[in-house]
Amino acid sequence: MASGQIHIAILNPGVEITPLRLRGWLQKEAAVINNRANPGDGAILRLFLTKKLRYGLPGKKLDAILQALTEKYPAVLRIEVQLIEAPLTEDEMAAQTRIANADLQKFLKRAEEYAKRKQAEAVENVQPAPIQWHKLKSALD
């Protein structure tokens, strides 16, 4: 994972997606994201569920669906669910894309700071070479 990239995918099921179709739709979307990922890449899925979809499924059922996706597709690191009244419009999708890009920049900055801190700690923890004393023979001995 250290050499890969992190992606945020915004999933916005349309009005044609019913609670019965949600599992298949999510699997198809997760498979596409997983197949696009390079080795070492990871994806965070931001799923915008309408209240109608969310409450059309029992909580345990939705949890099982989401957990199965993260287990089946290694590129899917986690799934964030946000409840909304209606599917996102194009303008709302664009706004969510800007938010996701800003979140990625914050994550990148924190990752760089962490790497620098770990590198500094490694330098500080390097043990100095032990001092070795040698007895020199002089010409008078």
Domain for residue 1, yes or no? no
User: Into how many domains does the chain fold?
Assistant: 1
Domain extent for 18: 6-116
Q: Which of 38, 44, 34 is nearest to 74 (CA)?
A: 34
Indicate the pTM of the whole model: 0.74
Domain for residue 127, yes or no? no
Average pLDDT over residues 104-124: 84
Domain for residue 131, yes or no? no
pLDDT value at residue 120: 81
Domain for residue 137, yes or no? no
pLDDT value at residue 85: 93
pLDDT band at 136 (very low <50, low <70, confident <90, very high): low
Average pLDDT over residues 96-124: 86
pLDDT value at residue 127: 67
pLDDT value at residue 47: 96
pLDDT value at residue 1: 40
Please determine, for residue 139, whether its predicted confidence score (pLDDT) is greater than 70.
no
Domain for residue 123, yes or no? no
Please determine, for residue 121, whether its predicted confidence score (pLDDT) is greater than 60.
yes
What digits encode the pLDDT tens for the residues 38-76? Answer: 888 999 999 999 999 999 989 899 999 999 999 999 999
Q: Which residues contact 78 (CB under 8 A, 6 or more apart)?
A: 44, 45, 70
Token pair for residue 128?
């100095």
* Cα(58)–Cα(51) distance, integer angstroms: 12
What digits encode the pLDDT tens for the residues 13-33? Answer: 999 999 999 999 999 999 999
